[in-house]
C-alpha cells in the first residue's frame, strides 16, 4: 500500500502538468508586417525596368505620391527630387540640375536639362512649365544623359509621363480653392470602348487666380494666371505583342507679368540713362549746344523719376505685359514585342506653338523716358 501511493501521485502529476502548462502558456504573437519596397516600373533607360535595378541616379515620383503629397506643379517637385531646382518667369520654366541649367527666359533658349513628355523632347523654355497635367509619374534623372537623351541633357533629364486609360470605366476629379481667388478643377474619364482592343481617356483642367502683386500706378494685379488644358489618349492592342498609344494635348493660357520693381538708379555710360535721369546724356550741356542741353534744344518733356521700392509685391510702373500661349500636339508610340528579349519601339510627335508677348514699359518706374512737347514760335512773320 505504501508503494502504491507514490506511484499514483506521480501518475497524477504526469496527467495534470501538461494541462496546467497549456493554460498558462502565452498566446503566439502575430507575425509582424515588416513592409517592403514598392516595385516601381520606370522608363529611364528607354525601356521598362524596375527602379531598384536601374543603374541611374533617378528619382521616380508616382501618381500616388503626387496625390498624397499634394504636388501641383514643377515648382513643388524640386522639394522631393534632390539636386533639382526650378524657377519660372511668366510661365517660362528655368530648370537646373546639380547647378547646370540656363537663366535665359526667351522662346529660343535651350535648357541644360532635357525635358521629355511621354518620350518626346520638349525643347525651349516656354513648353516646359505646363506639362504637370494628368500625371502618371515623373522621372528625374541626375547627371549627363547624352547617350540616351541627346543634346541639352548635360545636367540631367526630366521625364513627364501622363496617365493612360484603364481597363475599366473610371471617373476621377479634384477641386481646389485658395487665396487670391485661386480655383483649380480637373476631371478625367476612362472608357473601355472595345474590351482587349481599344480603350480611351479624356481629361480637362482649368486653373485661374488673381495676381500676387499690386500695381499702385495702374491699379492692376500683376502675376495673374488663367489656363485651360485638355487631353485625349487612346490605347489600341490588336495583338498581345503589339501596342499602339495615341495622345492629343491642348493648352491655352494667359499670364500677366512678371512684375518689374525699381530699387535704385545706376546710370551706365555712354547714355547715362536711368529712371532718376530719364534723359541721360540729353540732360548734359555741350552735346547738342555749347550752353543748352538737348532737352532744352528740342523741347523735350521728361517724366519725373519714380521712387524706388524694396517690396516686390508693391510696384508702381506702367506694366501691362501679357503672355498668351496656344499650343497643341499629337504623338504616337508603337511598341512591338518581337521576342522575349527583343522589343522595337517607334515614337513620333508633332507640336505647334503660338505665343504672343505684349511687353510694355519694363524698367520698373513710372517714367516714360521722354516725350516731345508741342512748341510754337514766330520767325519772319510765319508761325510754326
Alpha-carbon 225 to chain mean position: 14
The one-character DSSP state at 122 is -
pLDDT band at 262 (very low <50, low <70, confident <90, very high): low
The model's confidence at residue 371, banded by pLDDT at 50, 70 and 90, is very low
Report the C-alpha gap between 197 and 174 in whole angstroms. Answer: 29
Task: Select from 301, 296, 275 the least CA-distant residue to 286.
Answer: 296
Q: What mean pLDDT is reported for the chain? A: 77
Task: For residues 222-241, give the mean pLDDT.
Answer: 92
Cell of 71: 504636388
Which pLDDT value is given to residue 149? Answer: 82
Q: What is the pLDDT of residue 331?
A: 93
pLDDT at res. 187 = 95
Rounded to an integer, the average pLDDT of 259-285 is 72
Q: What is the pLDDT of residue 311?
A: 79
Place of cell 528607354: 46
In terms of Cα–Cα distance, which of 232, 126, 155, 127 is closest to 189?
232
Q: Label residue 361 by pLDDT band (50, 70, 90).
A: low
| Higher local confidence (pLDDT), 377 or 369 | 369
Name 354's Cβ contacts closer than 8 Å, sequence gap at least 6: 325, 326, 327
Q: What is the topology classification, in CATH, of domain 42-162?
A: Ferric Hydroxamate Uptake Protein; Chain A, domain 1 (2.170.130)
Angstrom distance (rounded) from CA 343 to CA 280: 67
Grid cell in block for residue 55: 543603374
* Total-model pTM: 0.70
Task: Give residue 376's pLDDT.
Answer: 38
DSSP string covering 187-238, please? EEEEEEEETTTEEEEEEEEEEEE--SEEETTT--EES-EEEEEEEEEEEEEE
Q: Computed from CA positions of residues 257, 258, 259, 265, in that sequence, does the dihedral angle turn out positive or negative?
A: negative
Tell me the pLDDT tens digit for each residue of 78-110. 899 998 888 776 667 778 888 888 776 666 677
Best mean pLDDT range from 16-25, 147-156, 198-207, 263-272: 198-207
Q: Which range has the worst mean pLDDT, 165-179, 188-202, 347-361?
A: 347-361
In the prediction, which pLDDT does 151 show?
Answer: 78
The predicted model gives 221-234 an average pLDDT of 91
What's the pLDDT score for residue 318? 72
**152-161, 196-205, 371-380: the lowest-pLDDT one:** 371-380
What does the alpha-carbon distance between residue 158 and residue 84 come to, in Å, rounded to a whole number? 10
pLDDT band per the 50, 70, 90 thresholds, residue 9: very low
pLDDT at 36: 55
Q: Rg (Cα) of the chain, in Å, rounded?
A: 34
Rounded (to 5) percent helix, strand, coil in the chain: 10, 40, 45
Q: What is the pLDDT of residue 238?
A: 94
Q: Identify the pLDDT of residue 275.
A: 62
User: Which pLDDT score is estimated for 232?
Assistant: 97
Nearest residue to 114 via CA among 73, 155, 60? 155
Task: Give residue 121's pLDDT.
Answer: 86
Confidence of residue 356 (pLDDT cuts 50, 70, 90): confident
Lowest pLDDT segment from 83-97, 278-292, 330-344: 83-97
Residue 364: the pLDDT is: 64
| pLDDT-based confidence at residue 346 (cuts at 50, 70, 90) | very high
How many H helices and E strands in the chain?
A: 5, 23
Sign of CA dihedral 9, 10, 12, 16: positive
Low-confidence winner among 9-23, 142-156, 174-188, 310-324 (lowest mean pLDDT):
9-23
| Beta bridge pairs of residue 209 | 225
Q: How many CA atoms lie within 13 A of 33 on its CB side?
A: 2
Phi and psi (nearest 5°) for 142? -105, 140
Q: Are 114 and 123 in contact (CB under 8 A)?
A: no
Spatial separation of the C-alpha atoms in residues 251 and 329, rounded to whole Å: 9
Better pLDDT: 207 or 380: 207
CA atoms within 13 A on the CB side of 5: 2
Q: How large a percentage of the chain has pLDDT more than 70?
A: 73
**C-alpha distances in angstroms, 47 versus 41, 55, 68, 134, 174?**
10, 13, 27, 22, 32
Amino acid at each position: 500500500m505504501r508503494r502504491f501511493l507514490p506511484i499514483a501521485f506521480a501518475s497524477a502529476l504526469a496527467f495534470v502538468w501538461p494541462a496546467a502548462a497549456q493554460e498558462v502558456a502565452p498566446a503566439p504573437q502575430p507575425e509582424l508586417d515588416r513592409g517592403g519596397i514598392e516595385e516601381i516600373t520606370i522608363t529611364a533607360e528607354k525601356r521598362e525596368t524596375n527602379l531598384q535595378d536601374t543603374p541611374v541616379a533617378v528619382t521616380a515620383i508616382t501618381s500616388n505620391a503626387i496625390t498624397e503629397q499634394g504636388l501641383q506643379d514643377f515648382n513643388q517637385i524640386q522639394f522631393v527630387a534632390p539636386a533639382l531646382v526650378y524657377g519660372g518667369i511668366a510661365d517660362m520654366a528655368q530648370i537646373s540640375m546639380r547647378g547646370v541649367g540656363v537663366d535665359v527666359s526667351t522662346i529660343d533658349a535651350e535648357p541644360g536639362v532635357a525635358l521629355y513628355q511621354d518620350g518626346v523632347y520638349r525643347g525651349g523654355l516656354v513648353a516646359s512649365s505646363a506639362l504637370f497635367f494628368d500625371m502618371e509619374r515623373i522621372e528625374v534623372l541626375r547627371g549627363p544623359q547624352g547617350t540616351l537623351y541627346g543634346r541639352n541633357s548635360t545636367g540631367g533629364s526630366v521625364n513627364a509621363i501622363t496617365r493612360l486609360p484603364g481597363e475599366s470605366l473610371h471617373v476621377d476629379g479634384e477641386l481646389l480653392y485658395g487665396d487670391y481667388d485661386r480655383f483649380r478643377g480637373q476631371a478625367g474619364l476612362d472608357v473601355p470602348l472595345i474590351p482587349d482592343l481599344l480603350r480611351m481617356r479624356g481629361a480637362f483642367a482649368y486653373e485661374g487666380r488673381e495676381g500676387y502683386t499690386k500695381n499702385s500706378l495702374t491699379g492692376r494685379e500683376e502675376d495673374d494666371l488663367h489656363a485651360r488644358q485638355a487631353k485625349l489618349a487612346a490605347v489600341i492592342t490588336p495583338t498581345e505583342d503589339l501596342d499602339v498609344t495615341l495622345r492629343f494635348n491642348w493648352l491655352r493660357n494667359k499670364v500677366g507679368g512678371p512684375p518689374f520693381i525699381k530699387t535704385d538708379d545706376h546710370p551706365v555710360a555712354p547714355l547715362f540713362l536711368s529712371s532718376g535721369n530719364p534723359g541721360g546724356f540729353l540732360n548734359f550741356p555741350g552735346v547738342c549746344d555749347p550752353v543748352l542741353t538737348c532737352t532744352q534744344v528740342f523741347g523735350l518733356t521728361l517724366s519725373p523719376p519714380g521712387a524706388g521700392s524694396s517690396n516686390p509685391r508693391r510696384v508702381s510702373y506702367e506694366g501691362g505685359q501679357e503672355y498668351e500661349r496656344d499650343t497643341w500636339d499629337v504623338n504616337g508610340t508603337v511598341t512591338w514585342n518581337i521576342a522575349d528579349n527583343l522589343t522595337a519601339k517607334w515614337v513620333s510627335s508633332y507640336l505647334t506653338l503660338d505665343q504672343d508677348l505684349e511687353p510694355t514699359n519694363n524698367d520698373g518706374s513710372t517714367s516714360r523716358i521722354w516725350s516731345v512737347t508741342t512748341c510754337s514760335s514766330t520767325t519772319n512773320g510765319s508761325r510754326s
